[in-house]
Structure 1
Amino acid sequence: MDIKEDKMDIKEGKMDIKEGKMDIKEGKMDIKEGEMDIKEEDKMDIKEDKMDIKESKMDIKEVKWTSKKVKWTIKKVKWTSKKVKWTSKKVKWTSKKVKWTSKKVKMDIKEYKMDIKEGKMDIKEGKMDIKEDKMDIKEDKMDIKEGKMDIKEG
């Protein structure tokens, strides 16, 4: 994700976003190898969240996805989509300490692991372009009950 002046520093903490705007006209997400650990205590509660992506690029070179019910590993994936809309009604995410700064940053994740009890993710093809996206997170808890990650191309 190439965000103009944006830095995401997550050490062990909390991500508190009361009113956030994410403006990405052209974004690239490069994930080489990363680990994402989501415990049961992490809950994500988003009451009304809309994500409009028109054009964007997602490049994943090596990613590991582990779940109690699913194990996913991918070596090279390119995702592009022309139009995508995402809406969520209830999500809670919590972390112990998290710092998010917006200024100019490239998101490069070296180790990435995702632990979820049940997850589904459907990625077909496309570009991700977020023109105006607002993220409102009041409580930092991430609760994912169902999820699947389905990559058709890659």
Structure 2
Amino acid sequence: MKIGVGADHNAFDLKEAVKSYIESLGHEVVDYGCYSKDAIDYPGVAFNVGTEVMKGSVDRAILFCGTGIGMAIAANKVPGIRAAQCHDTYSAERAQLSNNAQIITIGAKVVGEEAAKKIAEAYLSVSFQGGNSGRKIDQIMDKEQEFLKQGFGC
């Protein structure tokens, strides 16, 4: 798979470590920044990565910031995106299996490097199967479209 990654300065080191690990698993990685520890605001990275996911430039993505919360909130503002904050392997698996999340987020100040690698691996090792979960995702996406038609949204 082609996997996008992105981070703010708080999570630069973790992004770099997980990026290398993802590549070692045989995936192609596209790095959307940041590229140093220089201060950067996370919303721009999240919007860019979410847009690239929606365009099909990458299959899935993993975003990193201090807590993972801000990246998840920002990425979820991109229409069509389902981003899930994950701090353990079970939630990472379920983000894909139950929610067909195209993006997961990880907090560098909350999750250690080895755990973050395992979270990424768990997320990337499963695929959405639909079923009862597909019906629920359809309901979410239909409501999003309804809100957008009413003028709500980004």
TM-score by length of structure 1 reads: 0.24
Work out which structure has the larger RCO, using CA pairs closer than 8 Å and 6 or more positions apart in sequence: 1
Higher strand residue share? 1
Question: In proportion to residue count, which structure has more helix?
Answer: 2
In the superposition, the TM-score normalised over structure 2's length comes to 0.24
